[in-house]
Structure 1
Amino acid sequence: MKHTEIFSRILIITGIFLAVGVPLFFWSGTPLIHARISESGGWNPDVIKANVNEPLHLKLTSDDVVHGFAVGQMDMQSVDVLPGKVTDITLNFDKPGIYTFFCTRWCGLNHWRMRGTIEVEGTSDSLEAGSEPALSEVEVPLYVTLDLNLDEPHDAPVIPNSQPSAINGQQLAINLPIDLSVDTYRARSPYQVFDELNNTSLTEAQRWDMVAYIWQSNTNKESLANGQKLYAQNCAACHGENGTGDGVFADDLAASGEASMQTMTGADTMMMQTPVDFTDPARMLGASPALLQGKILRGGMGTGMPMWGSIFTEKQIWDLIAYLYSFQFNYQ
């Protein structure tokens, strides 16, 4: 065999190795994340390390049912994680910190427990070269500033006889000096504003219409659409598509809580309750946006309501809150 032929074969074999072996080498070095329903362990591993401005390559697979993967407070589309198949994704982080990844598919009663963290180390590009990283300022949530007790009953003592109309309220507002500022809106419940209008000549129905107008003035179509999308993706399975507390997991939550109280076992489920009915005017009209912010950020503390503080951005939380009030007010 001629030397040139031997050399050519060596080149061909080397090329095949490089074409197949090198990608396989990097693929084999990519973390494989297994997804299982929460009762079977959730994400494994549930802690991932990454560096600022270095692509993080992940492989995702499910060991049981269809799951979804997303990282909280990041602008990314949810990725389906299918049983027996491997999905490759690449993430990029431009800031250090601890990010929460979570399941976006309603895979079971404890779906919300399917969470993990990505610990990102390094220095953000926003810091000047040679400067020391400054401690990021953490904004204190409004419900903390107002010192609200999230667990205290807050039912409105007076409720409207029919759904208040923002359009009617807008007509009434022409002749009345009212405060439409976002600070007033977020800090007060609809009932408190209704009560403050007691010194006007308006009837009770007209006062509720004014409240509806004030609430509508502090949102817009884009925010309501975003809030509706967030609600459908993250809340409807428990609270129901129409906010009536009758989602597909509502009965399971109630049964789980009842069983725990009877056996006095299972600290995590002992206080699980039926999901809140957002169409209940007494409950919703007595709750300020700041109070709802606290409940969403913190969660229900054992009631089965998860905490969303590490998942939603501040804007997403206010958009979701604005949408929740649409179960009470007619904005059309």
Structure 2
Amino acid sequence: MKQEYWARALLVVLIGAALLIPFAGKWLQAIPNDLPTWVIHARRPEKGGWSPNKITARVGEPLKLRLTSEDVIHGFAIGKMDEPSVEVEPGKVVEVNLMFNQPGTYTFYCTRWCGKNHWRMRGVIEVVGEGAPIVEDQPLYLKMRLEIDAPHPAEEVPSNSVDPQQGSTFASLLPSYALDKQTYRTSSPAKLWLRLQAEQKLIELSDDETWNIVAWIWEQQTSPELLAEAKQLYAKNCAACHGETGKGDGVMVRDLMPPDTEGHFSGERTRPPDFTDPNHLFGASPALLEGKIIRGGMGTGMPYWGPILTDEQIEALVSYIFQFAWEK
């Protein structure tokens, strides 16, 4: 009798489980989204990217993410945070534990080149709760009302290689504005060269000597450590399109047409400009290049990095980009 009883009980349990299976997935989907653990699936952008791509968290409360990939290896990182990126491999689950101290919108993104639309693979974490929200200063290119998509050819370029060290020998002759950080950020190399050419104390200098001064001023705005960090950022986020040497010939854009010298208003994707060409780069101020990085390029396919990179990282990248032309 006992064996028959347990056999019938087991049969009832199995039948009940079979009936509940179709509803299990729906029940799981109905779990409230404000729980501190989220499962995020990664797919190529063409297949949906991050899913879900918007999650919520509360200030001061732990948040656990369980990440898995359904196709290729992806990378996961959160913009403007010091946390290292993690690899998200197909068929495996990796956990990330987070805690946010300020309310605001945080952008997470893929750090591995998973396809031609890799940069579109982004999502946001909306953090709510007590505390002062993150407030960012208005970018300089907006304060200056720069048209960052308009052509900006250099009025003048060096005729010979520059020597910043030689330019430093004239430091005592320079007007105070020449070494001001704001002058550097708002002036293109060509415009600063023209301005210095008109200075009475520098009027006897040759064109090359004035260019050496400008190159030295640009060199003072960074350091070997910042350039080393920027080199890594460039290799990780920029080189696939802009090329390792800055010529605009990266592997992801080699099938595109060269950039339109009349500006990028057509909406057609083109190759990036050649950073080694002083005629192009020396007509741009650091503020203009910062704007390009922050907002991206209209009609060029260049992504916007404002939510990803810190102000310091963007400034370091700008200095690194100018190195391509100065070294040439």
Which TM-score band applies after superposition, normalised by the shorter structure?
0.7 to 0.9
Equivalent position of 1:189 in the other structure: 188
Q: Deviations over 1:156-187 (max 9, x none)?
A: 03211233221111123344445211111001
Cα distance in structure 2, aligned partners of 1:36 and 1:252: 24
- What does residue range 125-140 of structure 1 map to in structure 2 within 5 Å? 137-140=135-138
Q: How far off its partner does 1:254 sit? A: 4.5
**In the alignment, residue 272 of structure 2 is paired with which amino acid?**
P
**In the alignment, residue 250 of structure 1 is paired with which amino acid?**
V
Q: Deviations over 1:238-271 (max 9, x none)?
A: 111111111110124549x9xxxxxxxxxxx952
Report whether the alignment pairs 1:276 with 2:270.
no
Equivalent position of 2:6 in the other structure: none
**In the alignment, residue 93 of structure 1 is paired with which amino acid?**
F
Equivalent position of 1:19 in the other structure: none
Distance verdict in 2 for CA 1:89–1:136, change over 3 Å: closer
| 2:36–2:64 contact (8 Å) kept in structure 1 | no
Q: Deviations over 1:200-232 (max 9, x none)?
A: 222111111111000011111222122111111
**In the alignment, residue 188 of structure 1 is paired with which amino acid?**
S
Cα distance in structure 2, aligned partners of 1:31 and 1:138: 28
Counterpart among 237, 240, 259 of residue 237 in structure 1 = 240
User: Could you state the TM-score of these two structures normalised by the residue count of structure 1?
Assistant: 0.81
Equivalent position of 1:265 in the other structure: none
Report whether the alignment pairs 1:120 with 2:127.
yes
| 1:73–1:312 contact (8 Å) kept in structure 2 | yes
Report whether the alignment pairs 1:212 with 2:215.
yes
**In the alignment, residue 41 of structure 2 is paired with which amino acid?**
H
User: Could you state the TM-score of these two structures normalised by the residue count of structure 2?
Assistant: 0.81
- What does residue range 45-124 of structure 1 map to in structure 2 within 5 Å? 45-124=52-131
Counterpart among 304, 309, 312 of residue 307 in structure 1 = 304
Cα distance in structure 2, aligned partners of 1:97 and 1:239: 32
SS at match of 2:40: strand
Equivalent position of 2:31 in the other structure: none
- What does residue range 147-162 of structure 1 map to in structure 2 within 5 Å? 147-162=145-160
Distance verdict in 2 for CA 1:174–1:54, change over 3 Å: same
| 1:52–1:96 contact (8 Å) kept in structure 2 | yes
Distance verdict in 2 for CA 1:185–1:219, change over 3 Å: same
Q: How far off its partner does 1:273 sit? A: 1.1
Q: How far off its partner does 1:276 sit? A: 2.1
SS at match of 1:329: helix
| 1:281–1:328 contact (8 Å) kept in structure 2 | yes
Cα distance in structure 2, aligned partners of 1:136 and 1:329: 37
Distance verdict in 2 for CA 1:84–1:285, change over 3 Å: same
**In the alignment, residue 97 of structure 2 is paired with which amino acid?**
T
Q: Deviations over 1:95-148 (max 9, x none)?
A: 110100000011111110000000111113xxxxxxxx5x66541111111111
Equivalent position of 1:164 in the other structure: 162
Cα distance in structure 2, aligned partners of 1:190 and 1:299: 22
Counterpart among 295, 320, 325 of residue 323 in structure 1 = 320
Equivalent position of 1:39 in the other structure: 46
| 1:163–1:328 contact (8 Å) kept in structure 2 | no
Unaligned runs of 5+ residues in structure 2 are 1-34, 260-265
Distance verdict in 2 for CA 1:29–1:192, change over 3 Å: closer
**In the alignment, residue 109 of structure 2 is paired with which amino acid?**
F
**In the alignment, residue 118 of structure 1 is paired with which amino acid?**
I
Cα distance in structure 1, aligned partners of 2:204 and 2:277: 27
Q: Deviations over 1:274-303 (max 9, x none)?
A: 122211111110000000111111101231
Equivalent position of 2:11 in the other structure: none
Distance verdict in 2 for CA 1:70–1:136, change over 3 Å: closer
| 2:267–2:298 contact (8 Å) kept in structure 1 | no
| 2:296–2:303 contact (8 Å) kept in structure 1 | yes
